Structure 1
Protein backbone atom coordinates (compact mmCIF):
# COMPACT_ATOMS: atom_id res chain seq x y z
CA UNK A 1 0.00 0.00 0.00
CA UNK A 2 2.91 2.32 0.67
CA UNK A 3 4.02 1.94 -2.96
CA UNK A 4 0.47 2.50 -4.21
CA UNK A 5 0.16 5.68 -2.13
CA UNK A 6 3.54 6.91 -3.40
CA UNK A 7 2.65 6.25 -7.02
CA UNK A 8 -0.71 7.99 -6.59
CA UNK A 9 0.97 11.05 -5.05
CA UNK A 10 3.51 11.21 -7.88
CA UNK A 11 0.77 11.01 -10.51
CA UNK A 12 -1.56 13.56 -8.96
CA UNK A 13 1.17 16.06 -8.10
CA UNK A 14 2.78 15.77 -11.54
CA UNK A 15 -0.40 17.07 -13.17
CA UNK A 16 -1.53 19.46 -10.46
CA UNK A 17 0.02 21.52 -7.71
CA UNK A 18 -1.57 19.48 -4.94
CA UNK A 19 0.23 19.63 -1.57
CA UNK A 20 0.18 15.96 -0.63
CA UNK A 21 3.17 15.74 1.69
CA UNK A 22 1.95 13.07 4.16
CA UNK A 23 1.26 15.72 6.80
CA UNK A 24 -1.84 15.72 8.97
CA UNK A 25 -2.86 19.04 7.39
CA UNK A 26 -2.74 17.44 3.94
CA UNK A 27 -5.78 15.38 4.95
CA UNK A 28 -7.78 18.58 4.49
CA UNK A 29 -6.65 18.46 0.87
CA UNK A 30 -7.99 14.89 0.64
CA UNK A 31 -11.37 16.12 1.90
CA UNK A 32 -11.27 18.95 -0.64
CA UNK A 33 -10.42 16.62 -3.54
CA UNK A 34 -13.19 14.20 -2.60
CA UNK A 35 -15.67 17.06 -2.38
CA UNK A 36 -14.64 18.12 -5.89
CA UNK A 37 -15.18 14.56 -7.15
CA UNK A 38 -18.64 14.54 -5.60
CA UNK A 39 -19.57 17.64 -7.56
CA UNK A 40 -17.96 16.69 -10.84
CA UNK A 41 -18.46 12.91 -11.00
CA UNK A 42 -21.26 11.82 -8.69
CA UNK A 43 -21.09 8.22 -9.94
CA UNK A 44 -18.69 6.37 -7.63
CA UNK A 45 -17.66 3.81 -10.23
CA UNK A 46 -16.15 6.50 -12.43
CA UNK A 47 -13.81 7.74 -9.68
CA UNK A 48 -13.15 4.49 -7.80
CA UNK A 49 -9.44 4.50 -8.71
CA UNK A 50 -9.01 8.05 -7.36
CA UNK A 51 -10.89 7.20 -4.17
CA UNK A 52 -8.66 4.15 -3.70
CA UNK A 53 -5.55 6.28 -4.20
CA UNK A 54 -6.78 8.86 -1.71
CA UNK A 55 -7.61 6.09 0.77
CA UNK A 56 -4.13 4.61 0.37
CA UNK A 57 -2.66 8.07 0.91
CA UNK A 58 -4.80 8.58 4.03
CA UNK A 59 -3.68 5.22 5.40
CA UNK A 60 -0.07 6.08 4.70
CA UNK A 61 -0.45 9.32 6.68
CA UNK A 62 -1.67 7.16 9.59
CA UNK A 63 1.36 4.91 9.16
CA UNK A 64 3.84 7.78 9.04
CA UNK A 65 2.26 10.12 11.60
CA UNK A 66 0.31 7.95 14.03
CA UNK A 67 2.35 4.76 14.26
CA UNK A 68 -0.11 2.55 12.38
CA UNK A 69 0.87 -0.31 10.11
CA UNK A 70 -0.84 -1.70 7.03
CA UNK A 71 -2.62 -5.04 7.51
CA UNK A 72 -4.63 -7.35 5.30
CA UNK A 73 -8.14 -7.76 6.61
CA UNK A 74 -9.39 -11.23 7.44
CA UNK A 75 -12.61 -12.46 5.81
CA UNK A 76 -14.85 -11.00 8.52
CA UNK A 77 -13.14 -7.63 8.39
CA UNK A 78 -13.31 -7.57 4.58
CA UNK A 79 -17.03 -8.20 4.79
CA UNK A 80 -17.51 -5.57 7.50
CA UNK A 81 -15.33 -2.87 5.94
CA UNK A 82 -15.77 -3.70 2.26
CA UNK A 83 -12.03 -3.30 1.71
CA UNK A 84 -9.10 -5.76 1.49
CA UNK A 85 -6.68 -3.82 3.69
CA UNK A 86 -6.59 -1.29 6.49
CA UNK A 87 -4.32 -0.12 9.26
CA UNK A 88 -3.70 -1.37 12.77
CA UNK A 89 -2.81 1.12 15.47
CA UNK A 90 -0.20 0.29 18.10
CA UNK A 91 -3.00 -0.38 20.61
CA UNK A 92 -4.40 -3.11 18.33
CA UNK A 93 -7.40 -1.22 16.93
CA UNK A 94 -8.06 -1.68 13.22
CA UNK A 95 -9.20 1.20 11.01
CA UNK A 96 -10.41 1.50 7.46
CA UNK A 97 -8.94 4.58 5.72
CA UNK A 98 -9.97 3.35 2.25
CA UNK A 99 -13.56 3.10 3.40
CA UNK A 100 -13.42 6.47 5.14
CA UNK A 101 -12.58 8.19 1.85
CA UNK A 102 -15.47 6.35 0.17
CA UNK A 103 -17.80 7.51 2.97
CA UNK A 104 -16.64 11.09 2.42
CA UNK A 105 -17.56 10.70 -1.24
CA UNK A 106 -20.95 9.17 -0.47
CA UNK A 107 -21.99 11.31 2.52
CA UNK A 108 -20.03 14.55 2.25
CA UNK A 109 -18.76 16.85 4.98
CA UNK A 110 -20.07 14.72 7.85
CA UNK A 111 -17.31 12.20 7.04
CA UNK A 112 -14.10 14.25 7.23
CA UNK A 113 -10.86 12.37 6.62
CA UNK A 114 -8.92 14.91 8.70
CA UNK A 115 -11.36 14.52 11.61
CA UNK A 116 -10.96 10.75 11.24
CA UNK A 117 -7.23 11.16 11.87
CA UNK A 118 -7.80 13.46 14.83
CA UNK A 119 -10.13 10.94 16.42
CA UNK A 120 -7.58 8.15 16.33
CA UNK A 121 -4.30 9.93 16.88
CA UNK A 122 -3.08 10.00 20.45
CA UNK A 123 -5.26 7.10 21.53
CA UNK A 124 -2.51 4.56 21.21
CA UNK A 125 -1.94 2.52 24.34
CA UNK A 126 0.71 3.97 26.57
CA UNK A 127 3.57 1.85 27.76
CA UNK A 128 3.69 1.52 31.55
CA UNK A 129 7.18 1.73 32.95
Structure 2
Protein backbone atom coordinates (compact mmCIF):
# COMPACT_ATOMS: atom_id res chain seq x y z
CA UNK A 1 0.00 0.00 0.00
CA UNK A 2 1.24 3.43 -0.82
CA UNK A 3 -0.40 6.53 0.51
CA UNK A 4 -3.57 6.55 2.60
CA UNK A 5 -6.83 6.44 0.62
CA UNK A 6 -9.99 7.86 2.27
CA UNK A 7 -8.79 7.04 5.77
CA UNK A 8 -7.21 3.70 4.85
CA UNK A 9 -3.90 3.51 6.73
CA UNK A 10 -0.54 3.07 5.10
CA UNK A 11 0.76 -0.44 5.83
CA UNK A 12 2.81 -0.52 9.03
CA UNK A 13 1.63 2.84 10.38
CA UNK A 14 -0.03 2.72 13.85
CA UNK A 15 -3.75 3.31 13.51
CA UNK A 16 -5.49 1.57 16.43
CA UNK A 17 -6.29 4.91 18.06
CA UNK A 18 -7.90 6.17 14.84
CA UNK A 19 -10.37 3.32 14.39
CA UNK A 20 -13.15 4.59 16.64
CA UNK A 21 -13.27 7.99 14.89
CA UNK A 22 -13.14 6.21 11.53
CA UNK A 23 -16.18 4.11 12.47
CA UNK A 24 -18.01 7.19 13.77
CA UNK A 25 -17.31 9.09 10.55
CA UNK A 26 -18.69 6.23 8.47
CA UNK A 27 -21.83 6.05 10.62
CA UNK A 28 -22.34 9.81 10.27
CA UNK A 29 -21.87 9.64 6.51
CA UNK A 30 -24.16 6.65 5.97
CA UNK A 31 -26.91 7.81 8.30
CA UNK A 32 -26.97 11.46 7.18
CA UNK A 33 -29.42 10.74 4.35
CA UNK A 34 -30.62 7.25 5.30
CA UNK A 35 -32.24 5.83 8.37
CA UNK A 36 -29.82 2.93 8.71
CA UNK A 37 -29.79 1.37 12.18
CA UNK A 38 -26.02 1.58 12.65
CA UNK A 39 -26.08 1.78 16.42
CA UNK A 40 -23.10 -0.48 17.23
CA UNK A 41 -25.45 -3.28 18.25
CA UNK A 42 -24.87 -6.90 17.35
CA UNK A 43 -28.08 -6.75 15.28
CA UNK A 44 -26.57 -3.95 13.18
CA UNK A 45 -24.02 -6.42 11.78
CA UNK A 46 -26.83 -7.75 9.61
CA UNK A 47 -27.19 -4.24 8.18
CA UNK A 48 -23.47 -4.26 7.40
CA UNK A 49 -23.95 -7.60 5.60
CA UNK A 50 -26.68 -5.98 3.47
CA UNK A 51 -24.56 -2.88 2.79
CA UNK A 52 -21.56 -4.93 1.66
CA UNK A 53 -23.79 -7.14 -0.47
CA UNK A 54 -25.26 -4.03 -2.11
CA UNK A 55 -21.80 -2.69 -2.89
CA UNK A 56 -20.83 -6.08 -4.27
CA UNK A 57 -23.91 -6.32 -6.49
CA UNK A 58 -23.29 -2.82 -7.78
CA UNK A 59 -20.16 -4.22 -9.44
CA UNK A 60 -18.21 -1.16 -8.38
CA UNK A 61 -14.43 -1.08 -8.60
CA UNK A 62 -13.07 -2.44 -5.29
CA UNK A 63 -10.33 0.19 -5.29
CA UNK A 64 -12.90 2.98 -5.46
CA UNK A 65 -14.69 1.40 -2.52
CA UNK A 66 -11.59 0.81 -0.39
CA UNK A 67 -12.39 3.70 1.97
CA UNK A 68 -15.99 2.59 2.43
CA UNK A 69 -15.00 -1.04 2.98
CA UNK A 70 -12.34 0.09 5.45
CA UNK A 71 -14.93 2.19 7.30
CA UNK A 72 -17.33 -0.76 7.45
CA UNK A 73 -14.51 -2.90 8.84
CA UNK A 74 -13.82 -0.22 11.44
CA UNK A 75 -17.51 -0.26 12.33
CA UNK A 76 -17.51 -4.07 12.75
CA UNK A 77 -14.41 -3.82 14.91
CA UNK A 78 -16.01 -1.10 17.00
CA UNK A 79 -19.02 -3.37 17.58
CA UNK A 80 -16.54 -5.95 18.94
CA UNK A 81 -14.96 -3.28 21.14
CA UNK A 82 -18.29 -2.10 22.54
CA UNK A 83 -20.11 -5.43 22.78
CA UNK A 84 -17.45 -8.10 23.25
CA UNK A 85 -14.81 -6.36 25.37
CA UNK A 86 -12.23 -6.16 22.57
CA UNK A 87 -9.62 -3.43 22.18
CA UNK A 88 -8.13 -2.01 19.00
CA UNK A 89 -4.50 -3.01 18.49
CA UNK A 90 -1.84 -2.26 15.92
CA UNK A 91 -0.68 -5.57 14.48
CA UNK A 92 2.98 -6.52 14.71
CA UNK A 93 4.90 -7.41 11.53
CA UNK A 94 3.90 -11.09 11.61
CA UNK A 95 0.23 -10.28 12.18
CA UNK A 96 0.30 -7.67 9.39
CA UNK A 97 1.75 -10.27 7.05
CA UNK A 98 -0.84 -12.87 8.08
CA UNK A 99 -3.92 -10.64 8.09
CA UNK A 100 -2.91 -8.18 5.39
CA UNK A 101 -3.99 -5.31 7.65
CA UNK A 102 -2.20 -2.93 10.03
CA UNK A 103 -4.84 -2.99 12.74
CA UNK A 104 -7.33 -5.35 14.34
CA UNK A 105 -8.91 -6.18 17.69
CA UNK A 106 -7.72 -8.19 20.67
CA UNK A 107 -10.38 -10.05 22.58
CA UNK A 108 -10.42 -10.40 26.37
CA UNK A 109 -8.92 -13.90 26.07
CA UNK A 110 -5.98 -12.54 24.04
CA UNK A 111 -7.06 -13.72 20.58
CA UNK A 112 -6.75 -11.24 17.76
CA UNK A 113 -9.29 -10.82 14.98
CA UNK A 114 -9.32 -8.97 11.70
CA UNK A 115 -12.68 -7.22 11.19
CA UNK A 116 -11.29 -5.14 8.30
CA UNK A 117 -10.35 -8.30 6.45
CA UNK A 118 -13.65 -9.94 7.32
CA UNK A 119 -15.56 -7.12 5.60
CA UNK A 120 -13.25 -7.34 2.60
CA UNK A 121 -13.87 -11.12 2.42
CA UNK A 122 -17.62 -10.50 2.51
CA UNK A 123 -17.20 -8.12 -0.42
CA UNK A 124 -14.82 -10.34 -2.40
CA UNK A 125 -16.47 -13.73 -1.78
CA UNK A 126 -19.99 -13.01 -0.56
CA UNK A 127 -22.19 -15.78 0.74
CA UNK A 128 -23.42 -16.73 4.16
CA UNK A 129 -20.06 -18.19 5.19
CA UNK A 130 -18.66 -14.64 5.14
CA UNK A 131 -21.57 -13.10 7.07
CA UNK A 132 -20.55 -10.52 9.65
CA UNK A 133 -23.53 -11.46 11.80
CA UNK A 134 -22.39 -15.11 11.73
CA UNK A 135 -18.86 -13.92 12.50
CA UNK A 136 -20.23 -12.48 15.75
CA UNK A 137 -22.17 -15.63 16.59
CA UNK A 138 -19.12 -17.86 16.13
CA UNK A 139 -16.62 -15.41 17.62
CA UNK A 140 -14.35 -16.88 20.27
CA UNK A 141 -12.96 -14.85 23.14
CA UNK A 142 -15.88 -12.51 23.83
CA UNK A 143 -16.38 -11.12 27.29
CA UNK A 144 -19.10 -13.11 29.01
CA UNK A 145 -20.91 -9.97 30.14
CA UNK A 146 -21.33 -8.60 26.62
CA UNK A 147 -24.67 -7.04 25.78
CA UNK A 148 -26.34 -8.03 22.53
Same fold (TM over 0.5): yes
State the Cα RMSD in Å: 1.4
Distance in structure 1 (CA, Å) of the matches to 2:38 and 2:67: 17
Aligned length: 125
**Shift of residue 73, structure 1, vs aligned partner:** 0.3
Equivalent in the alignment of 2:133? 114
SS of the residue aligned with 1:71?
strand
**Shift of residue 57, structure 1, vs aligned partner:** 0.2
SS of the residue aligned with 1:28?
helix
Relative to total residues, which structure has the larger helix share, 1 or 2? 1
Which structure 1 segments of 5+ residues have no match?
none
Question: What's the CA shift string for 1:18-41, capped at 9, x where partnerless?
Answer: 110000000000000000000113
- The question of whether the paired residues in 1 share the 8 Å contact of 2:86 and 2:142 is answered with no
Equivalent in the alignment of 1:51? 69
Q: 1:86 aligns with which of 96, 104, 114?
A: 104
Which structure 2 segments of 5+ residues have no match?
1-18
- TM-score, length-normalised on structure 2? 0.80
After superposing on structure 2, the runs of 4+ consecutive aligned residues of structure 1 that deviate more than 4 Å are none
